[in-house]
Structure 1
Amino acid sequence: MTSRIIALTAAVVVGVASLCVAGLVTLSGAATACSLVTTPSGTTGRYDTEQVHHAQVIVTVGVQHGIPVRGQVIAVATALQESGLRNLGHLGENNDHDSLGLFQQRPSQGWGTPAQIMDPEYAAGAFFGRLVTVAGWQSLPLTIAAQTVQRSAYPDAYAKWEGDATALVGLVSGPPNASGGPGEQCISVGGWMTPIQGTLVSGFRTDSRPGHDGVDIAAAKGTPIHAAASGLVIRVVCNAHLRDGSPYSCDVDGHPVTVLGCGWYVELRHPDSTVTRYCHMLRRPFVHVGQQVAVGQVIGQVGSSGHSSGPHLHLETHTGEPATESNAVDPIGFFASRGIDPTAT
């Protein structure tokens, strides 16, 4: 395997004081606890929510496999070097052979299928599976242990991440019974979170609203809307008009009778090719088309633009792109399969 040195980005400003990252979980992906991550200082302050989450996944899988802390540090340091703790898909001409995922593992070298390697849990387990076969790995210098597993073209590059990896492992190794308190949100082991905390006021394609392709979650005007998972911004649209087709502003409240459309909305495409849509935002969203966003990043604010009777988030989930009526699925089940209850308060 060859390595790509990825420049680490500055921490994403998410507009909230704290988030929860999923704590120790079973390998089924259902979260059993959260460990609180406040805005970190020092070394770990350079990493955003997505990166800290991926460190958490690696540590969680390590614990499940009985890997001691030294092995967890080696794995996190390796992922820092290979991907910057980001679950990288195929980058076209910039791709290093067929390398994928957190550890830049290659299907052609027997690490698994592309789909498997793009699953952070699987990738971490595959790394640990090979690490424990290295004779005396616990007493080896980190860079030698990592290199023996990875066989990188840059064998000395791993050592520089040991300090950061040690700090990150310490940060995410919270007590197994820790839990998020009121107002805190959790990221599942699969890398998903609920975009807002609020009250479910309308379901998916109910008898009274068979054409309602999402769910409505009520929250106060101005409540931050978070990206439900990392992904690419594919649409930022003002969609509001009167019933006669006349244009209507998305920068003012809409109306449930006279105004149609989703108001200000954003669509994100996620690494598994699913799409999430966030409607009725208060004002122009905080992101732009082509921007990569991290899980938990604030993309806009709850509003009542378009076809709306009051402040709420209309949330849609789609199995493919473009997001259409035919590929819309119930967000409750969609999130539940990813270890998240989007209506939890």
Structure 2
Amino acid sequence: MSIPRPRKIALLVALVATLALLCCGGGITALFVGSLTDENKDGLNASSYGCGKGGPVDPDTKLPRIRPYGAEQIRNAAVIINVGADLKMPPRAWVIAVATAMQESRLNNLGNLGTRNDHDSLGLFQQRPSSGWGSPTQVRDPVYAATKFYNKLKTIQGWERMSLTRAAQRVQISAYPDAYAKHEPLATQIVNQLADGAAGAAGDSVTMVCASGRQIAASGWTRPVGAVVGSGFRTASRPTHQGVDLIAGKQTPITAAASGIVSKVKCDEDHSGRRTCNVDGYPGKGGCGWMVEIQHAGDVMTRYCHMIVKPFVHEGQEVTAGEIIGRVGTSGNSSGPHLHFEVHLNNDRSSAGAIDPVRFMREQGTPLGGEG
């Protein structure tokens, strides 16, 4: 799919602008949609700007091919999404529901599997009639099963800000509570394709808008700061810059870009081996200053550098999307106040795992570059 000429021009202007702006210490250091086909990736990019306003597709129409799932499995995902929309649940709930069904049944409406059956679990969500989910016939009706899932989700206080795996577990009470997380990236993309770019939506199915500012998108991601992008990712002038600089004033709150576990909090050493993070840095000093790393679903890791004081979180802490983890500063290898923000795949902290945060965040429906 070709990019429209106006968007090409806008992207070119943004790229030129990034080459001229602020410098920082990004020297330390396959998007998750790699499971999709190339044609699906084009479809994701095309739909990522709709923010769900066009509504979910009809499950009985021709649906896109989304590997590794077949036509009937994708139809079941479309049913789950449509039920969520009918119940006026926000798109974030659709992602949670689809990911749950991916784990429980691989989006297959399973009957009794005999000796391979988990007790009397049936249907898309492996709901058990003996536990009060409904009759065997009812729980094998995708509309009924999805309705029961959403109605239970509604009763969980604060589910909207929970990690996907915690919210799903509160509904399902699974013997494998951490198993849902690995499905979140692909579930997000399925919802995006089947519901007009709903991964970037905030609000319920009636008042849906494109996520902006501090809003958390249906993808579960939000901007770490509302700020313009300065120096870009691996530009011609800075090929070892493994992230982007988000230009913001000192003390601006920095939030976790998505739910996850804090894996690293430290004052990074400068080129002389010193840890002097409670003072302003300067170009050539080296190091990230005060920094935080967070591990997210899908083996994605984010890094936040140059904080003004020791971060507000500690290693091993669970954080939610939008939770304040520190404040913007200019510690370490820095020429002025900003947040240096990195995204890494496969929880690889090295430069080999780093990818372009601008592209990644755009595909989560939360593009970097200001509050609008």
TM range (shorter): 0.5 to 0.7
Residue in 1 aligned with 2:361? 335
Q: 1:174 to 1:190 in 2, by over 3 A?
A: closer
1:224 Cα deviation from its structure 2 partner: 0.2
CA contact (8 A) 2:168 2:180 kept: no
Q: Which amino acid aligns with 1:247?
A: R
Deviating beyond 3 angstroms after TM superposition, the runs of 4 or more aligned structure 1 residues are 27-31, 60-69, 71-77, 80-84, 86-90, 99-103, 105-108, 112-124, 171-175, 177-181
Deviation track 1:5-62 (CA, whole Å, cap 9, x = no partner) reads: xxxxxxxxxxxxxxxxxxxxxx95656389xxxxxxxxxxxxxxxxxxxxxxxxx945
Question: Is 2:235 the partner of 1:206?
Answer: yes
Question: Is 2:277 the partner of 1:250?
Answer: yes
Question: Is 2:346 the partner of 1:326?
Answer: no
- Percent of aligned positions with the same letter in both sequences? 35
Distance 2:310 2:181 in 1: 36
Residue in 1 aligned with 2:140? none
1:116 Cα deviation from its structure 2 partner: 4.1
Distance 2:290 2:353 in 1: 21
Q: 2:299 aligns with which of 251, 273, 282?
A: 273
CA contact (8 A) 1:88 1:102 kept: no
Q: 1:208 to 1:123 in 2, by over 3 A?
A: closer
Distance 2:180 2:266 in 1: 36
Q: What CA RMSD, in Å, does the superposition of the two structures yield over aligned residues?
A: 4.2
CA contact (8 A) 2:302 2:344 kept: yes
Q: Which amino acid aligns with 2:259?
A: S
CA contact (8 A) 2:88 2:206 kept: no
Q: Which amino acid aligns with 2:51?
A: T
Deviation track 1:195-227 (CA, whole Å, cap 9, x = no partner) reads: 001121100001100100000011010000010
Q: 1:79 aligns with which of 126, 142, 153?
A: 153
Q: Within 5 Å, which residues of 2 pair with 1:1-345? A: 30=49, 32=51, 61=81, 65-67=85-87, 75-79=149-153, 85=159, 86-87=162-163, 89=165, 101=169, 103-104=171-172, 115-116=182-183, 172-173=203-204, 176=207, 184-241=213-270, 243=271, 245-257=272-284, 259-345=285-371
Q: Which amino acid aligns with 1:221?
A: K
1:344 Cα deviation from its structure 2 partner: 3.2
TM-score under structure 1 length normalisation? 0.57
CA contact (8 A) 1:29 1:190 kept: no
Q: How many residue pairs are counted as aligned between the two chains?
A: 236
CA contact (8 A) 1:232 1:293 kept: yes
TM-score under structure 2 length normalisation? 0.53
Q: Which amino acid aligns with 1:339?
A: G
Distance 2:275 2:173 in 1: 50
Q: 1:337 to 1:180 in 2, by over 3 A?
A: closer
1:333 Cα deviation from its structure 2 partner: 1.0
Deviation track 1:208-250 (CA, whole Å, cap 9, x = no partner) reads: 0010000001101000001000000000010132x4x241410
1:322 Cα deviation from its structure 2 partner: 3.7
Distance 2:88 2:207 in 1: 16
1:67 Cα deviation from its structure 2 partner: 4.1
CA contact (8 A) 1:117 1:123 kept: no
Deviation track 1:55-77 (CA, whole Å, cap 9, x = no partner) reads: xxxxx9457653468x9996454
Q: 1:308 to 1:266 in 2, by over 3 A?
A: same
CA contact (8 A) 1:31 1:339 kept: no
Q: 1:220 to 1:174 in 2, by over 3 A?
A: farther
- Structure 1 stretches lacking a partner, 5+ long: 1-26, 35-59, 91-98, 125-170
1:342 Cα deviation from its structure 2 partner: 1.3
SS of structure 1 residue aligned to 2:153? helix
Distance 1:286 1:117 in 2: 27
Q: Which has the larger strand fraction?
A: 1
1:119 Cα deviation from its structure 2 partner: 6.4
- Structure 2 stretches lacking a partner, 5+ long: 1-45, 54-79, 90-143, 192-201
SS of structure 2 residue aligned to 1:335? helix
SS of structure 2 residue aligned to 1:262? coil
CA contact (8 A) 2:163 2:320 kept: no
Residue in 1 aligned with 2:112? none
SS of structure 2 residue aligned to 1:236? strand
Distance 2:49 2:248 in 1: 26
Distance 2:368 2:184 in 1: 27
